[in-house]
Every structure is written in C-alpha cells, then in structure tokens.
Amino acid sequence: MSDHITRLLVIRHGETAWNLEARIQGHTDIPLNEHGRWQAERLALALSDDGLDALYTSDLQRARDTAQAVARATGLPLRLDQGLRERNFGRLEGMTQNEVALQWPEEGRRWRERDPSYGPEEGETLQSFYQRCIDTAERLARLHPGQTVALVAHGGVLDCFYRAANHIPLQAPRTWTIGNVSINRLLYSPEGFSLLGWADTRHLDDEVGLDETSDGAVALSPDK
C-alpha cells in the first residue's frame, strides 16, 4: 500500500434493545443487548488476523463495547473519539418513527426528506453532522498513512462515509444497507475517500442484521 493511503475498516456497533424497537438512539447511551454482545465477539474473531494497526471507537457504550471485543482479540489499545458519535437527535431521542410523525409532523417531514439544514431541537443538522463525521475520519486517517485502521461507530456515521466515497448528495435516499457489526472497507488518500467493499457480514454466517436509516434516508427509522 502507498505510504499516502490509509485503509479504513468502518464498522457499525452491535445490536441494542432500541434497535429492535426502532427507537432513535442518537447520543443516548444504550448498551448492547445479548445478541449484540455475541455479534461483537464474532466481529472480533473476524478481525483478529486482519493486520489492524489502530482501533478507534465512538465513546458511546454500544460502539465502545463492540470495539472492546476487537481490542481484546487484537491486543490493540482502544482509542475513544467523540467525533465518531451518532448524530445528536435532541428531543427526538427515544422515540419511534410513528411517535415523531404524530407529535411533530413537520419535523418528521423534514427529517424524512433529508433536509440538510434541519436539526431537531437540541440536536444537530444533517449538514453539520456530515461535516463532523468526514472531518473526524480524515483526521484519524491522516494519523496513520500506509496503515490499516478500524473505526467503530454508528449507522448514520457510516452513511456519511459511504456518501463521501461515492459522491452521493446528502439529500439522496439511502439505497445501501448498514447492518449491525457489518465490516465496510474504504481507502483514504489526499484525494479523498474511495470504496473497496461494503456490508460484509460473512462473520455472522447467514444472519440477517438490522439495518436502520438513522437519519431518515428511507424512512424515519433510527440507528441507533
């Protein structure tokens, strides 16, 4: 690999109870459920001999605990970075799609239509969230030129990475999956991000993971 290129493995956290209930997690610190902990161990086994040089994670416990399993398997130190957090959904956190639509129909519409300037009360706009995610990934990648780095984060964060690598506008509907503990491969160079592979869940055998559109790309269904 060129000394100027960083290989990134970007990974969504394991399953949580709120994933199953399609509740918006955002910055709410929800733990993994039992199945999510099993998924984390399967992920760790898959990455144990992947040649990782560094491991970063969102500091929210569903991502941190997923990454901790990888840290145990690889012997790498675990580095926390708040820049990898899910989008802050403010007062919408803890709600379902139907609850948002009933209580705040105009907010639900702007979220569903992916208005880049829309942000829930006490939350982030889609545009500011996207910029945070991309700035964080670039910053971490630049610390490790020529190396392989794992970033454990959230569905909305991975959605931003996919859009950056494929030059997809923020307002375009999401047509790609982001399953729990899916392994997604990117390259970062001074020219930007490029896609190597997406939605690898072979380590889960034939399990079908929960995909969510945490920012309303397809529906008002969260990451969460």
Q: What single DSSP character describes residue 16?
A: B
Q: Measure the CA–CA gap between 155 and 109, rounded to whole angstroms.
A: 20
13, 27, 35, 154: the active-site residue: 13
- Residue reference for tokens 């300037």: 117
Cβ-contact 182, 174 below 8 angstroms:
no
* Burial category of 94 from C-beta neighbours within 10 Å (exposed 0-12, middle 13-18, buried 19 and up): middle
Q: Nearest-CA neighbor of 107 among 122, 93, 94, 92?
A: 92
Residues 6+ positions from 17 with CB-CB distance below 8 Å: 30, 33
Token couple for 174? 């999401």
The count of other CB atoms within 10 Å of the CB of residue 77 is: 8
- Residue reference for tokens 């008002």: 220
86, 93, 124, 212: the active-site residue: 86
Q: Is 86 annotated in the active site?
A: yes
Sign of CA dihedral 207, 61, 165, 87: positive
Q: Is 154 annotated in the active site?
A: no
Q: Nearest-CA neighbor of 137 among 189, 76, 69, 212?
A: 189
Q: For the chain, give the longest Cα–Cα distance.
A: 52
Active site (catalytic) residues: 13, 86
